Structures are given as C-alpha cells and as structure tokens.
C-alpha cells in the first residue's frame, strides 16, 4: 500500500503556543460545559440538542496521524477531523473538537461530555453492545509492527508471551491480549514507537495505514511489519445508546452522501494515499 502524501506525525508545541493554536483551530483540551448540560436534557434527541446549540462537540485524540493530528502550523487536521468538519457543515452547525486520551473518549460519549467521537473507532461486538454506531466510513487492517532485527514474530500466533504496548482499551490492545501477548498501556503512538525502538517491547499493533504514515515521516526508523491480521475491521462513529436514534439516522445519511459524492474517497487518498473508505 503506497502513501502518496507526506504527513506530519506529531508536532510538540510549547504550552503557551499550543493554547493559541487550539483557539485558532476550533479545538479544546477542556471539557465543554454545554455538552455536559445538553446531555442531561430528557425527551429530546441529541440531534435536536446539537441544532439548538448550533455546534457539535467531537471527541478526538489529536495525536494519531494520519487520522487525527496537528500539522506543522499547529492546525488540527487528519482524515477524521476533516470528516468531522464535513459532518458539521451538512448539519448546519459549527464543529468543536475536544482532544483527550483514548481511554477517556468513549467513556465521555457514555457520560454525555461529547456528542460524537471521530477517532478511527473499530466497531467490535463489545463496543456495539455499549454504543450506537453509524454505518462504517472507513475500513482497517491491523498489523504487527516489530524492530527490523526481530525474527521471532512472523504471525499473529507468535505474539504469545511477547511484550507489546498500546493505549489501554484500544482494539489493538485487545487483539494482542487475544493472541497471548502482555500489553503495556501507553498514552499515544509516539510513546509506543519509542518503547519499540528502544527494545523495551517486542511489538505493537496498529492500523496498516498508520505504519506507512509513520515510515513516510521517519524513513530511517528501524521497524517493519511482521504480520497482518486476516480480518478487515469496520470503522464507525460511536454515539451513546439513549436518545440518539435521529442523530444516527442523520449521520448515516450524511456519510452515504459523502461516499456518493466521492468526498470520503478524496479525503482518504489525501491522508492515507489509498482509499480506505471502501471495503
């Protein structure tokens, strides 16, 4: 799979500058008050609440290129971010992106702190029991990434007894544990690669397109793909279960329109170098 566009993996900014950038790019590190209060309203679908307040609060990490990241100017962008902006535009509201660590984002959806989460969320059976999902807007293949000197891991089964690292509660951590690996919890992707390159873990699991994006930005990095999972996973937008029937239907319509117009394909090619909006 070829990557056509160079994407910045992650930009670390001084705190003061980051505050300015967040204000300019329409995203926030703080929990939005209006999202909390609107979530407590009863008898009204979340879609109506979003239209009433004139904005949609979108949870995302902001550190997972090319899905969601800050470019060299500090602007929040990525496939998921631009999909979120198009969704807000179609809804006739403003997008407010709130960045946070992965393990708190899904919990924030359940608690009503965010309206939706757009962050490459795989639609697993366990998650579909806990959340209402849109139709898929992307499809993903999971790969095992190791040091280029590693000759012990050649298949998913070889993960048994090995040390891996991923964000806690992520699909990749769950898959690693399923194959018998011991998983260290980390905060973000950069930390994962630091552990791998320093030899403190044997492997990490992630999306195939994320690996190629990392190699595009870090061509000298001594890592390789050791194995590819057989399954292709579907990526959707999770919503809380209660009071989101109308919102789910409207989001499905918007995603269908974006697919039909070719806008999803265009964004996918822009950020991934290939079209992952189609299975």
Q: Tell me the per-residue pLDDT of 180-196, one tens digit each, with 9 for 90 and over.
A: 999 999 988 889 999 99
Question: Mean pLDDT over residues 69-96, rounded?
Answer: 98
pLDDT at 227: 97
pLDDT at 168: 81
Q: Could you give the C-alpha distances from 221 to 104, 111, 212, in angstroms and in order? A: 30, 40, 11
Q: Is the pTM here over 0.85, yes or no?
A: no
pLDDT at 167: 87
pLDDT at 11: 37
Question: Mean pLDDT over residues 25-51, rounded?
Answer: 62
Nearest to 128 by CA among 35, 50, 279, 235: 235
pLDDT of residue 6 exceeding 80? no
Q: How confident is the model at residue 25 (pLDDT cuts 50, 70, 90)?
A: very low
Residues 6+ apart with CB under 8 A from 65: 7, 8, 9, 10, 78, 189, 210, 213, 214, 217
Q: What percent of the chain has pLDDT over 70?
A: 85
Q: How confident is the model at residue 22 (pLDDT cuts 50, 70, 90)?
A: very low
Q: How confident is the model at residue 33 (pLDDT cuts 50, 70, 90)?
A: very low
Poorest-confidence range of 28-32, 260-264, 275-279?
28-32
- How many contiguous H segments (helices) and E segments (strands) does the chain have? 11, 14
227 versus 103: which is more confidently predicted? 227
108 versus 190: which is more confidently predicted? 108
pLDDT of residue 236 exceeding 60? yes
pLDDT of residue 266 exceeding 70? yes
pLDDT at 67: 97
pLDDT of residue 179 exceeding 60? yes
* Element housing 268 (H / E): helix 263-272
Among positive and negative, which fits the CA dihedral 129, 132, 136, 137? negative
Tokens of 247: 């919102």
């Amino acid at each position: 799979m070829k990557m056509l566009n160079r994407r910045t993996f992650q930009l670390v900014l001084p705190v003061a500058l980051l505050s300015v950038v967040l204000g300019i790019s329409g995203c926030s590190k703080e929990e939005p008050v209006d999202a909390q209060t609107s979530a407590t309203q009863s008898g009204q679908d979340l879609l109506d609440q979003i239209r009433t307040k004139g904005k949609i609060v979108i949870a995302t990490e902001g550190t997972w290129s090319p899905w969601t990241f800050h470019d060299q100017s500090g602007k929040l962008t990525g496939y998921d971010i631009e999909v979120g902006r198009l969704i807000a535009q179609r809804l006739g509201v403003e997008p407010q992106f709130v960045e946070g660590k992965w393990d708190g984002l899904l919990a924030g959806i359940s608690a009503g702190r965010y309206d939706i989460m757009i962050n490459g969320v795989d639609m697993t059976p366990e998650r579909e029991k806990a959340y209402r999902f849109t139709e898929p807007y992307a499809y993903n293949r999971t790969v095992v990434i190791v040091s280029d000197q590693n000759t012990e891991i050649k298949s998913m089964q070889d993960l048994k007894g090995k040390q891996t690292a991923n964000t806690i509660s992520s699909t990749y951590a769950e898959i690693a544990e399923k194959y018998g690996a011991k998983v260290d919890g980390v905060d973000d992707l950069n930390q994962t690669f630091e552990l791998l390159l320093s030899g403190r873990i044997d492997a990490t699991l992630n999306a195939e397109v994320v690996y190629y994006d990392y190699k595009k930005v870090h061509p000298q990095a001594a890592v390789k793909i050791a194995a590819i999972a057989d399954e292709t996973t579907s990526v959707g937008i999770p919503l809380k279960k209660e009071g989101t029937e109308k919102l789910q239907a409207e989001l499905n319509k918007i995603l269908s329109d974006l697919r039909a117009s070719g806008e999803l394909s265009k964004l996918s090619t822009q950020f991934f170098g290939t079209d992952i909006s189609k299975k």
